[in-house]
Structure 1
Amino acid sequence: MKTDSKYPRLRLFIAGRWIDGAMGDGTEVLDPARGDVIGVMPHASKSQLDEALDSAESAFRAWRSVSPYDRAMILLRAAALIRARAEDLAWLITTELGKPLAEARLEVETAASIFAWDAEEGRRAYGRVIPSRQPGVRQIVVREPVGPIAAFAPWNAPLITPSRKISGALAAGCSVVIKPAEETPACTLALAAILEEAGLPAGTLNVVTGNPAEISKYLISSPLIKGVTFTGSTAVGKALAAEAALGMKRMISELGGHAPVLIFPEIDVEALAVSAAKAKFRNAGQVCTSPTRFFVHESIHARFAEAFAEAAGRIQVGDGRDPTTQMGPLAHARRLSSIEEFVDDARDRGIAVATGGGRIGNRGFFFQPTLLADAGDDSLAMNVEPFGPLAVTQPFGSTQEAIRLANRLPFGLAAYAFTHDSRISAQVAEEVESGNVIINHWQASLPETPFGGLKDSGQGREGGIEGLEAFQTVKYVSQA
């Protein structure tokens, strides 16, 4: 089978060794800009999964005893190596996922920053002393690592999301068995190679690939796994959470969203529309916090929709490796069919397709930046997350109506608001049901801030102080 000569050979990373998967099994990895096969992802056998689990359990017993300072030194070396290989990693992200190289470079820097943050935060796993009621009794609270972690990463942020899971768990003293997405396996394997070079003990990180449903069920059901971290769809996340609950395992999940944007009067409509289009079509809209449901005050709705459509229409779509490209392809053919369904539904309902609405070319997975203007609550795009280059607008009359629209769906990952009124800002911050409420800008997360959702958008947090705590358990010790 012909593959891209620059694309790495994909292997499993188990117990500190690079090994082939089961004979005859594999999944083709495609270049989404060209539709060509660039590699073959191996499938781990059950015996190889058992080896990964056993090595993670054995390595955990040693890794948890390594001082937080020494663990931090390894993670900091990994951060430095990520930065040193930024161009190679950016090329890998763009080749597997399709996003423009400029965006891929930012993802590499964010991944390095995540490792650096977790390295330092792991040194601050503070406990506390509780004053005793009785003389001679010492009461202390200590934080300890949960244990071996099963991690499942999606394709849309192929370096950032594995970095969050791996570095957070390692900083807390846990070992990890991670399964990357079948569309973007090489990015996670590149992180494993970097950590190996940085001095991470063998078995502390294991990377396995193969059938998602089979691997997730096998890993989560193992008594050796003590915690699970998953990023992906709400439906799959709920199923995995149910499996984890059977074993009383810690579950951290970042699931689907459908981010609302509340736009109030007295803002610069045209300038905001341009920045909104840039934020929306980042990574072709394949971002869990992507602003999608634009609720705009009725006095400026028409102006905003027109300006947004114009800005979207100017976006240069193409191969992410072309420096002139501003938006790359979708990750796979399934996303094309999905976005077409939203457009077809809108047209059937008489909703205006203000810009875009169709596939570009017949090679690769390209779709036009699309805006559906003035859509009703019953439209598909107002109820289901497109997870692609499609936005939808709807006017509102009052602040309370805007907040009701934002909270209408059972999701709460990210929400945005733009206003110059401090009273409205305070009301939005208090009443919008979302794990991340962002006012007057578009940055939903940073390495030092907690990230996660409410309602059907997940449970637990990654990032920030809370991200370290997610991989720790609390022990109370009282001694007379």
Structure 2
Amino acid sequence: MTLEQGKTLTESTLEFSIVAETLEWNAAEALRANGRIIPARTRGARQMVVMQPLGPVAAFTPWNFPGVLPARKIATALAAGCTVVIKPAEETPASTIGIAQALQDAGLPAGTLNVVFGVPGDVSSHLIRSDIIRKVHFTGSTEVGRRLATLAAEGLKPCTLELGGHAPVLVFDDADLDTTVATCVQGKIRNAGQVCTCPTRFIVQEGIYEAFVRRYGEAMDRIVVGPGVDPASQMGALANRRRRDAVEEMVSEAISQGGRLVAGGNRGDRGDLQGTFWRPTLIADVPRSARAMNVEPFGPLALATRFSTVEEALMEANRLPYGLAGYAFTRSAATAVTVADELQVGGVGINTFAVSQIEAPFGGVKDSGYGVEGGHEGIEAFMHPRYVHHVT
């Protein structure tokens, strides 16, 4: 995973531990994929709801989490009783192949899990249009998600779509600044910012704005960027040159529009470090018109703006059409409740960025997709509740 994708060995090791936990949790939850008995209207009758697997699933995963994302789709579908045809990203094939090999070695029946590769458009079109496939599960960009949903609609096939995000972070005056800054740095550099739920727009209350920006920038400057196989590296390379070039372009454009560069802003190249590296970057006072404020950077780029009232902060947070995740840092219970109620996102983190966990539903709203994975809700998404009315 580290060699193919660029993340540090620490992150890769953690990801595979989550892969194992995902398989174990879904296997256990399969025993609780229960239906129900409905009180009968007449004596001698039985009214039942029986949960039935939808059938073969076509799953498509990106390159940013080459272990966890395939494992979620495979484990959840199998727990529901469905077979799977999965197409992982061509850039990071080894992790999915490794998972498939482990499942085969563990005794998974032949044909239950199938891994395919090829031209993405050709593979997705062929699978989704096939009469065999009864469910589509995709993680990736909003643009591609729309196309796959259109294909699935032709066959009236249900979809689970986990698409892009542009997560806002509301930092209130009463937040614990030390903890908030440390948490925000770790949240931003995780997987070099190549995370759909990655915190990007830091909307900070004016009373602590300058202090937050200064301390956040200083902390980002201390991050050690280097090869993922180097134990000293705290953040690895971006996955490919496309991502590095896109981040570089967004940084340049944001600064040209009046943004103030606080930390990073360069490739971080040195004599012994060449490749797709990019220093963790913080730009303050970024205008709304900047492209990075409207399009997901998908890299280690943080953007800071200020606000005065809760209403103003929520208006900016909800301004974009994306709604995957949103966050707030505050010690006020009342503020936390307001934010949790008003953020237009699928997952809310208060004083944390952990909004995607095995036992809980995860999914977006608006342009961030529909449907969920995780929790018992995720398994139910692969099942149909069949109603049985038996009269003796």
TM-score interval, smaller chain: over 0.9
Amino acid at match of 2:6: G
* 1:233 Cα deviation from its structure 2 partner: 0.2
Which blocks of at least 5 consecutive residues in structure 1 are unaligned? 1-92
Task: Determine whether 1:186 maps to 2:94.
Answer: yes
Task: Determine whether 1:325 maps to 2:226.
Answer: no
Q: CA RMSD in A?
A: 0.9
Residue aligning to 2:76? 168
| Cα distance in 1 between the residues matched to 2:233 and 2:12 | 12
8 Å CA contact 1:274–1:307 kept in 2: the answer is no
8 Å CA contact 2:183–2:352 kept in 1: the answer is no
Residue aligning to 2:145? 237
| Cα distance in 2 between the residues matched to 1:426 and 1:445 | 20
Task: Determine whether 1:105 maps to 2:16.
Answer: no
Identify which of structures 1 and 2 has the higher relative contact order when contacts are C-alpha pairs closer than 8 Å and 6+ apart. Answer: 2
Taking structure 2 as the reference length, the TM-score comes to 0.97
Residue aligning to 2:280? 369
- Indicate the percent of aligned positions where both proteins have the same amino acid: 52
Residue aligning to 2:194? 286
Amino acid at match of 1:461: V
Amino acid at match of 1:130: I
SS at 1:142 equivalent: strand
- Picking from 421, 440, 445, the partner of 2:356 is 445
| Partner deviation per Cα, 1:187-216 (whole Å, 9 max, x = no partner) | 100011000001000000000011111111
8 Å CA contact 2:55–2:82 kept in 1: the answer is yes
8 Å CA contact 1:270–1:304 kept in 2: the answer is no
Amino acid at match of 2:157: K
8 Å CA contact 1:346–1:353 kept in 2: the answer is no
Task: Determine whether 1:341 maps to 2:341.
Answer: no
SS at 1:282 equivalent: helix
Taking structure 1 as the reference length, the TM-score comes to 0.80
Residue aligning to 1:70? none
Residue aligning to 1:462? 373
| Partner deviation per Cα, 1:295-320 (whole Å, 9 max, x = no partner) | 00011111111111111111000001
Matches within 5 A, 1:203-242: 203-242=111-150
Task: Determine whether 1:144 maps to 2:55.
Answer: no
SS at 1:387 equivalent: coil
* 1:470 Cα deviation from its structure 2 partner: 1.0
Residue aligning to 2:325? 414
| Partner deviation per Cα, 1:339-370 (whole Å, 9 max, x = no partner) | 01111211211211111111132732101111
8 Å CA contact 2:88–2:96 kept in 1: the answer is yes
* 1:125 Cα deviation from its structure 2 partner: 1.0
| Cα distance in 1 between the residues matched to 2:88 and 2:343 | 33
Which blocks of at least 5 consecutive residues in structure 2 are unaligned? none
SS at 1:281 equivalent: helix
Task: Determine whether 1:355 maps to 2:266.
Answer: no
| Partner deviation per Cα, 1:150-202 (whole Å, 9 max, x = no partner) | 00011000000000000000111000000000110111000110000010000
* 1:393 Cα deviation from its structure 2 partner: 0.6
8 Å CA contact 2:258–2:285 kept in 1: the answer is no
* 1:464 Cα deviation from its structure 2 partner: 0.6
| Cα distance in 2 between the residues matched to 1:242 and 1:305 | 43
Residue aligning to 1:307? 215
**Number of aligned positions between the proteins:** 388
| Cα distance in 2 between the residues matched to 1:363 and 1:336 | 12
